[in-house]
Structure 1
Amino acid sequence: MIYISEGLLYICFAILTGALLLKLIPENKKPNIVVPNGLLLACTIAIPILSFVPIHNLALLFAKDFDMSYGSIMKSILLDINTGKAWIWTAIGSAGLAFLLGLKAFQNDKHMPKVALFVTFLLIVWLGYAGHASSLYGFRGLVTHAAHFLTFSVWIGILFVTSWFAKDNAHWHSFLRWFSPVAIACVLITLLAGFILMTFTTPEYINSWMLPYGQMLLIKHLLILPLLLFAYTNGFGYKKMAERNPSFNPRRWLRAESVIALLVLAATGALGQQAPPHTVKETLQTVSPSPLFTAIYKGSFSPDIALKFTLHLESILMFGAAALMAGGVVWMYRSNKLIPAFAMGILTTVFMYYGLMFSIA
Structure 2
Amino acid sequence: MIFFTALSDVLMYIAFSYIIGSVVLGFVPKTHKPAMQESKIMRLLSVAGIALFSLAPVIELTVFLNNGESWFSTFFHILIDYRVGNGWVLTLLFCVLLGLTVHYDGSVHMRAYYTGILVLIVGFFSHVSTLNLWGGFISHSLHFLAMSLWIGVLLHVAWFARDGSNWRRFISWFTPFALVCVAMLIISGIFIMLFFVEPADYVKSWVLPYGQLLLLKHLVIIPVLAAAWINGFLNRKGSYERAWLKVEFLLILLVFVFTAFMSKQAPPHDINNTFRSEGPAPLIELLKGPQFIPIDGAWSVSMNGILLMVIGIMCLAMMVLGYKKQLPLWLSFIFGLIFVGAAYAGLMLNIAF
Q: Give the shorter-chain TM-score range.
A: over 0.9
- Could you tell me which amino acid in structure 1 is paired with residue 137 of structure 2? L
Structure 2 CA distance for aligned equivalents of residues 120 and 81 of structure 1: 24
Determine whether 1:152 maps to 2:185. no
Aligned to 1:226, the other structure's residue is in SS state helix
Partner of 1:230: 227
Partner of 1:96: 97
- The gaps in structure 1 that reach 5 residues or longer are 107-111, 243-247
Which of 306, 309, 318 is the matching residue for 2:299? 309
Query: Per-residue deviation at 1:336?
Result: 2.2
Query: Per-residue deviation at 1:84?
Result: 1.7
Q: Which stretch has the larger CA shift, 277-286 or 162-171?
A: 277-286
Which of 2, 5, 28 is the matching residue for 1:2? 5
Which of 165, 180, 189 is the matching residue for 2:175? 180
Cα contact 1:6–1:272 (8 A) shared by 2: no
Query: Per-residue deviation at 1:130?
Result: 1.9
Spell out, residue by residue over 1:18-38, the C-alpha distance to the aligned partner (whole angstroms, 9 max, x if none). Answer: 111111100111111123110
Determine whether 1:332 maps to 2:334. no
Which of 243, 254, 275 is the matching residue for 1:284? 275
Spell out, residue by residue over 1:38-63, the C-alpha distance to the aligned partner (whole angstroms, 9 max, x if none). Answer: 01100101111111111111121022
Structure 1 CA distance for aligned equivalents of residues 73 and 203 of structure 2: 40
Aligned to 1:222, the other structure's residue is in SS state helix
How do residues 136-215 of structure 1 correspond to structure 2 at under 5 angstroms?
A: 136-203=131-198, 204-215=201-212
Cα contact 2:158–2:246 (8 A) shared by 1: yes
Structure 2 CA distance for aligned equivalents of residues 181 and 340 of structure 1: 28
Query: Per-residue deviation at 1:276?
Result: 1.7
Spell out, residue by residue over 1:69-117, the C-alpha distance to the aligned partner (whole angstroms, 9 max, x if none). Answer: 54454344323332222111100000000001111x34xxxxx112112
Partner of 2:313: 323
- Could you tell me which amino acid in structure 1 is paired with residue 60 of structure 2? N
Partner of 1:352: 343
Cα contact 2:204–2:297 (8 A) shared by 1: yes
TM-score by structure 2 length?
0.94
- Give the fraction of aligned pairs with identical amino acids, expressed as a percent: 31
Cα contact 2:266–2:274 (8 A) shared by 1: no
Query: Per-residue deviation at 1:68?
Result: 5.5
Which of 112, 126, 132 is the matching residue for 2:127? 132
Q: 1:211 to 1:68 in 2, by over 3 A?
A: farther
- Could you tell me which amino acid in structure 1 is paired with residue 32 of structure 2? K
Q: 1:339 to 1:8 in 2, by over 3 A?
A: same
Q: Which stretch has the larger CA shift, 203-212 or 132-141?
A: 203-212
Q: 1:202 to 1:73 in 2, by over 3 A?
A: farther
Cα contact 2:206–2:215 (8 A) shared by 1: yes
Structure 1 CA distance for aligned equivalents of residues 266 and 84 of structure 2: 14
Query: Per-residue deviation at 1:340?
Result: 1.8
Cα contact 1:7–1:269 (8 A) shared by 2: yes
How do residues 37-116 of structure 1 correspond to structure 2 at under 5 angstroms?
A: 37-64=40-67, 69-103=70-104, 105-106=105-106, 112-116=107-111
Structure 1 CA distance for aligned equivalents of residues 72 and 272 of structure 2: 36
Q: Which stretch has the larger CA shift, 131-140 or 327-336?
A: 327-336
Asked which structure has the greater RCO (Cα within 8 Å, sep 6+), the reply is: 1
Partner of 1:342: 333
Ranges of 4+ aligned residues in structure 1 off by more than 4 Å: none
Query: Per-residue deviation at 1:288?
Result: 2.4
Spell out, residue by residue over 1:278-331, the C-alpha distance to the aligned partner (whole angstroms, 9 max, x if none). Answer: 112111222121111111114x51132221122211121122111111111111
Cα contact 1:82–1:135 (8 A) shared by 2: no
Cα contact 2:122–2:141 (8 A) shared by 1: yes
Spell out, residue by residue over 1:231-255, the C-alpha distance to the aligned partner (whole angstroms, 9 max, x if none). Answer: 0010001124x5xxxxx64111101
Partner of 2:37: 34
Q: Which stretch has the larger CA shift, 69-78 or 180-189?
A: 69-78
Partner of 2:236: 239
Which of 112, 118, 123 is the matching residue for 2:118? 123
Q: Which stretch has the larger CA shift, 91-100 or 306-315?
A: 306-315
Partner of 1:245: none
- Could you tell me which amino acid in structure 1 is paired with residue 221 of structure 2? I
Structure 1 CA distance for aligned equivalents of residues 124 and 32 of structure 2: 35
Structure 1 CA distance for aligned equivalents of residues 125 and 266 of structure 2: 13
